[in-house]
């Protein structure tokens, strides 16, 4: 197949770029509060099971589809399955991306506010309870968070318009390791806080009596969300891969890195939460109310250190979120650009404008619009629920069926083994997982949640 598409430069660059999409607010913000709401250690074990059995194989499937078809997600399904309804899976993925980006940008915006707060020295004076109060006051303010959301979307827009391959690869190479190191430092600080032990216990002592349908669905949704699956992100990135990229190995490495970052975030957040008596199930604000306490007390509580640590952390978090929003934005932009023959600039403009509108509503739904609920959820929660717990698993289900049952086995193995040059046995295992384990597992979790079984 001729290839005039841009491609990533080095093998490490490939892994880091895919990891850049995967590692983001999903790991550092969403994973800890999901863990907190769903009972701790048992949730984490279920989560790891979901990553190994569904996540990694489906990432391989998305890689294979993307590299084979070398196009945006919707077109990839059309290329590999012409004149079939598989088209709709691609379209649903694009829609999911659009909705995720809209509320993701709201939280990404919060990180910008917290950079400013840390720089202003606000993390060295307060008592723990004050951080909760100032967080609540901030997210319910009618215009400040909206402004940050719009700013974040504009930043994403600029990068996507410029073309992303080089930028993503180069910046990921520096930022990802830095983020990792800083998380390790913060975990050590957090673990040394008085009373941190209860947080560690919460993370390590599983209580399986807490695992029910809700917990299973939450863990599965979190796995797809965190690995950027079910939305064509990995498909799109793989369309820039080279023919000799080892897809199974790359998918496995990305899954491992992503999971390590999530667990490390748990080690930063729970010891701190227990140390200052913040409830682990306090929801989406968990990251933002516990961390200031870690900065505040780290290294003997020197204000300058608190400020520097805080600024560094929130900048890296914002950048991690940025590599993820770029990947979300890119999927929708590539779709509009190629399917409706709009210029890239126009396509990106439409995506940004749409997300600014939806993002504004999401942000307002946490404050002035709190009372407008749908199915008992605010707009922000609704977007999160509909995408992570419904759309991503459904489309991941179809991706695994597509690879496991629809596509010719030879094509699948050709991609997974680079035309037979690497490990055939892996291919057999992956096909088995995609054919039986993933679709049946996902269907089971759904049926369980709907109380059908």
User: Which residues contribute to the site for ligand TRP (CB under 6 A)?
Assistant: 21-22, 24-27, 100, 225-226, 228, 230-231, 233, 324, 327-328, 392
The dihedral over CA atoms of 238, 240, 241, 242, expressed in degrees to the nearest 10, equals 150
CB of 235 to ligand TRP, least distance (A): 10
Residue whose Cβ sits closest to ligand TRP: 26
CB of 293 to ligand TRP, least distance (A): 23
CA–CA gap between residue 42 and residue 117 (Å, rounded):
35
Q: Are 69 and 241 in contact (CB under 8 A)?
A: no
CB of 303 to ligand TRP, least distance (A): 31
For tokens 């096909």, the residue is: 431
Give the residue with the Cβ less far from ligand TRP, 315 or 392: 392
CA–CA gap between residue 144 and residue 406 (Å, rounded):
49
Rounded to the nearest 5 percent, the helix, strand and coil shares of the chain are 80, 0, 20
Give the residue with the Cβ less far from ligand TRP, 191 or 322: 322
Helix (H, G, I), strand (E, B) or coil at 374: strand
Helix (H, G, I), strand (E, B) or coil at 319: helix
Give the residue with the Cβ less far from ligand TRP, 38 or 226: 226
CA–CA gap between residue 46 and residue 34 (Å, rounded):
12
CB of 26 to ligand TRP, least distance (A): 2
Give the residue with the Cβ less far from ligand TRP, 155 or 369: 155
Give the residue with the Cβ less far from ligand TRP, 326 or 445: 326
CB of 24 to ligand TRP, least distance (A): 3
CB of 422 to ligand TRP, least distance (A): 27
DSSP letter string over 28-52? IIIHHHHHHHTTTHHHHHHHHHHII
CB-side neighbour CA atoms (13 Å) of 397: 17
Give the residue with the Cβ less far from ligand TRP, 287 or 328: 328
Is the Cα torsion angle 188, 193, 195, 199 positive or negative in sign? Answer: negative
The dihedral over CA atoms of 226, 228, 231, 235, expressed in degrees to the nearest 10, equals -160
Residue 359 burial (CB count, 10 A): 27
CB of 186 to ligand TRP, least distance (A): 18
CA–CA gap between residue 178 and residue 359 (Å, rounded):
29
Compute φ and ψ for 405, nearest 5 degrees: -115, -40
Q: Are 101 and 149 in contact (CB under 8 A)?
A: no
Give the residue with the Cβ less far from ligand TRP, 59 or 187: 59
Give the residue with the Cβ less far from ligand TRP, 21 or 245: 21
CB of 22 to ligand TRP, least distance (A): 5
Give the residue with the Cβ less far from ligand TRP, 236 or 275: 236
CA–CA gap between residue 339 and residue 331 (Å, rounded):
12
CB of 275 to ligand TRP, least distance (A): 26
356-to-24, 109, 156, 157 alpha-carbon distances in Å: 20, 12, 12, 11
CB of 384 to ligand TRP, least distance (A): 11
Q: Are 258 and 223 in contact (CB under 8 A)?
A: no
Give the residue with the Cβ less far from ligand TRP, 196 or 328: 328
CA–CA gap between residue 356 and residue 179 (Å, rounded):
28
């Amino acid at each position: 197949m001729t290839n005039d598409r841009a491609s990533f430069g080095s093998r490490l660059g490939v892994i880091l770029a895919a990891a850049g999409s995967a590692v983001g607010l999903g790991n550092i913000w969403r994973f800890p509060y999901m863990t907190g709401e769903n009972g701790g250690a048992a949730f984490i074990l279920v989560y790891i099971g979901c990553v190994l059995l569904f996540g990694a194989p489906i990432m391989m499937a998305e890689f294979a589809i993307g590299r084979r078809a070398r196009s945006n997600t919707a077109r990839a399904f059309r290329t590999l399955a012409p004149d079939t309804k598989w088209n709709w899976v691609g379209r649903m993925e694009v829609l999911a991306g659009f909705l995720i980006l809209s509320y993701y940008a709201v939280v990404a915006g919060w990180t910008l506010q917290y950079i400013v707060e840390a720089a202003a020295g606000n993390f060295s004076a307060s008592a723990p309870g004050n951080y909760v109060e100032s967080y609540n006051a901030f997210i319910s303010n009618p215009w400040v968070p909206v402004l940050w959301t719009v700013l974040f979307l504009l930043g994403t827009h600029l990068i996507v318009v410029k073309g992303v391959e080089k930028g993503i690869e180069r910046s990921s190479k520096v930022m990802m390791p830095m983020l990792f190191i800083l998380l390790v430092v913060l975990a050590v600080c957090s673990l040394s806080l008085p009373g941190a032990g209860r947080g560690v216990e919460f993370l390590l002592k599983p209580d399986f009596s807490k695992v029910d349908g809700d917990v299973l669905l939450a863990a599965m949704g979190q796995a797809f969300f965190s690995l950027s699956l079910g939305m064509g992100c990995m498909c799109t990135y793989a369309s820039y891969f080279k023919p000799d990229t080892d897809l199974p190995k790359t998918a496995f490495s990305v899954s491992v890195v992503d999971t390590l970052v999530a667990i490390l975030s748990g080690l930063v957040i729970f010891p701190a939460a227990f140390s200052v008596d913040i409830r682990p199930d306090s929801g989406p604000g968990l990251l933002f109310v516990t961390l200031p306490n870690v900065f505040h007390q780290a290294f003997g509580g020197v204000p300058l250190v608190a400020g520097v640590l805080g600024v560094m952390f929130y900048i890296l978090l914002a950048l991690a979120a940025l590599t993820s929003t770029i990947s979300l934005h890119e999927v929708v932009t590539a779709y509009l650009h190629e399917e409706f023959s709009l210029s890239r600039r126009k396509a990106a403009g439409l995506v940004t404008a749409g997300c600014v509108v939806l993002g504004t509503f999401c942000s307002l739904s946490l404050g002035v619009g709190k009372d407008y609920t749908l199915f008992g959820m605010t707009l922000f929660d609704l977007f999160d629920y509909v995408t992570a717990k419904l759309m991503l698993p459904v489309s991941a289900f179809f991706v695994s069926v597509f690879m496991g049952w629809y596509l010719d086995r030879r094509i699948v193995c050709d991609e997974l083994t680079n035309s037979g040059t690497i490990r055939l046995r892996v291919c057999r295992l992956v096909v088995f997982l995609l054919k039986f384990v993933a679709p049946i597992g996902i269907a089971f979790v759904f049926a369980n949640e709907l109380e059908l079984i």
